[in-house]
Structure 1
Amino acid sequence: MKIELVRIKNEIVVFLLTTFVITFSMGILMFWVYKHLDKDIMSSFGLVQMLYPALVAIILIIIHKKDNIHRTLSNFLKIYIVLCILSIVVLIGGVFIFPKYVSKVLNILVYIFSVILFSLIVNNKDNCFERINMVFQKNFKKVLILCLAFIGIQFLISIINGAFYGNFIESIKKSISILGFLPFNVLLSILISFVIFFGEELGWRGYLQPRLQILFGKRFGVIVLGIIWGIWHLPLCFMFYSPKTPVYCVIFHIFYCMFIGIFFGFAYMKTGNLWSVIIIHLINNSMALTSNNLSGIVFTPKSLVLNIIICGVVFLPFIFTKEYNGENLEKILLH
């Protein structure tokens, strides 16, 4: 058992060091040319950053288990690595060579590779994608219920915010409008852009979460993960999410990722299906993007505290559910 814990600690350290070195190195590079970049390129920087956690996790999985991976799954993982390399090359080179087309080229890459990888998952020969907990049919009803629950929670958050800022009716109308387009956006995005959400969720929930929970326990492990996940957003806070109030943005993301990470962790343990958190993450970003609440946000002390409190109130209770009791993590631990 002691040897096993040492191995897990080493895996965590290597994963975090590699993920943060890649993320912050790219962040520093982008920061040098930040003043010369338009909003589309900064959005592309965020898109590519979402790929890094899974890239690192996949490399570690291949290194440790290269002789014990089904051929179809191996091809899937290798194709994903190719996507990451091409995306990084396009982002770095495009900023200096073809800045006007960086966003379009990256989106095309994501569309093409998402469709290719999606087709491999759908075929799922010999049920090999169970290895990374990506089987559509697995606990499908639970996945659907949790996705609907998350939409309801986000709707509630929007209404509460509207009530505090005196635009209650407007918030309801805007939220209903967003919900009207959401099913189409989600279904289309699952096919043509799921890979960018897979990028975060395989890394954070699939690889890191169960390892942190083995070390720290289910509850504290997911809280530690949320803090790490929030800090990881630092480059985006300074250059995309809130360049005018980046410190407040980082503080908000640490708390937001900690609280929403509790729900994500709950969903992943409840279903044992990575699709649950991929789709929930997709819904989260889709609703934020549709409401223009993803970039250029200006935080005030009041809005910062208010949003932290609201997120804590709606998401924190999930840490007291039965999924956070017990020690069995085998069904979600990626080897």
Structure 2
Amino acid sequence: MKIDWKNIILFVLIAFGISYPVQQGYLTDFFLSFTKNSFISESEYLLAGFSTLIAAIVVLTFHQNLSKRITILGDDKIKNALILVLPIIAFSISGLNNNFGMNESFYGFAFALINTIYAFTEEFGWRRYLQNALEGLNKNLKYIFIGVIWWIWHLRFETQFDIFIFPLICICGGFLLGKLADDTGSILPVTAMHTLIILTTNSGIFGINEIMGIGIVILGWILIELLWKRKKAHNTVHN
């Protein structure tokens, strides 16, 4: 499949153009005007996710013959939906410490839910559009390319960590998430993995609650995978 670089560049320009004022803090006062004293008051990054979502929606209206390898639900719709909601369930059980005086379980639920929505908005752009648009490119190059774009999109260049370590995190993360999207054909498992990364890095001090939440998620994902393999084996025998 021929790669339409013109529309890919348009996607990148729109995503960067919308995310720039967010990443540079120009919308901080606006964000605080309606989130002050709420549990997301320090999560201005949530606005940035709309940049990739909007860019993808705009470019999808122009980009013809786009690959449909990766969709929202994929082929195993129920399985992928269960994978998506598992971090929300897990962190509702484990709870999360917070400085807002909120019940830990409710905060775990609310923080996981809002970040699942955020991760979906990002991954709709990175996977549903950009990864499909790069179909035909060598897979490893595709994952690395998206990882590099993801790093630059954050516009973090102030420290040595931002310049030397953070790009490696984005490239490795892009590789992992890209392969997961190709393997499942859905952005939901990718969204769930992205959410888990956020929950274990942006929720505050990494402690027993986070460890317990991660453990529940991993065990749940393993159980879902085993159940689906058993279901497929059962269907194969009876067919």
TM-score normalized by the length of structure 1 = 0.45
Kindly report which structure 2 residues correspond to 1:184-333, keeping only aligned pairs within 5 A, or say none.
Answer: 193-214=115-136, 216-235=137-156, 246-292=159-205
Query: What secondary structure does 2:151 align onto?
Result: helix
1:20 is aligned to 2:16: yes
Identify unmatched segments of 5+ residues in structure 1.
66-129, 151-176, 239-245, 294-335
Query: What secondary structure does 2:205 align onto?
Result: coil
2:173 aligned partner, one-letter code: I
1:14 aligned partner, one-letter code: L
CA contact (8 A) 1:213 1:219 kept: no
CA contact (8 A) 2:128 2:187 kept: yes
Aligned counterpart in structure 2 of residue 135 of structure 1, from 73, 77, 97:
73
Cα 1:145–1:29 change in 2 (3 A) is: closer
How far off is 1:53 after superposition?
0.5
Aligned counterpart in structure 1 of residue 7 of structure 2, from 8, 11, 25:
11
Which has more helix, going by share of residues? Answer: 1
How far off is 1:222 after superposition?
0.7
How far off is 1:21 after superposition?
2.1
1:180 is aligned to 2:180: no
Cα 1:220–1:132 change in 2 (3 A) is: closer
Identity of aligned residues (%): 26
- Paired with 1:252 and 1:144, the residues of 2 have a C-alpha distance of 33
How many residues align? The count is 187
CA offsets per residue over residues 25-74 of structure 1, 9 Å max, x none?
A: 444462998xxxx9988834311012211111011123457xxxxxxxxx
Cα 1:18–1:221 change in 2 (3 A) is: same
Q: Larger RCO: Structure 1 or Structure 2 (Cα < 8 Å, ≥ 6 residues apart)?
A: 2
Alignment root-mean-square deviation, CA: 4.3
Q: Which residue does the alignment assign to 1:58? A: 57
TM-score normalized by the length of structure 2 = 0.61
How far off is 1:140 after superposition?
4.5
Q: Which residue does the alignment assign to 1:86? A: none
1:180 aligned partner, one-letter code: S
How far off is 1:258 after superposition?
0.7
